[in-house]
Amino acid sequence: MATPHQNTIKKALLVTELLDQNYEQGNQAKMMHGVLRSKISKVYPMSYRTLQRYVKLARNLPEVKQNQLTLF
């Protein structure tokens, strides 16, 4: 599997943060699709499927410790 571009990862993290701030379980206006229409699409136009991909990408990122060195 190819690794996503660094800007895609940043956008996925920002979109997931917006979703976490506005998501409310059970409230239809604040469920995933409602938050996409009302909040996220105004900043980052995207489809529902792209939102799902970004959320999956952001949730599955390995956490890098601040003092951990990277090769690249």
- Tokens found for residue 9: 């990862």
> pTM for this one?
0.77
Q: What's the mean pLDDT in 44-61?
A: 93
Rounded to the nearest integer, the mean pLDDT of the chain is 86
At residue 27's C-alpha, the angle toward residues 24 and 33, to 5°, is 75
Query: Is the predicted pLDDT of residue 1 greater than 80, yes or no?
Result: no
Least confident of 15-19, 28-32, 58-62: 28-32
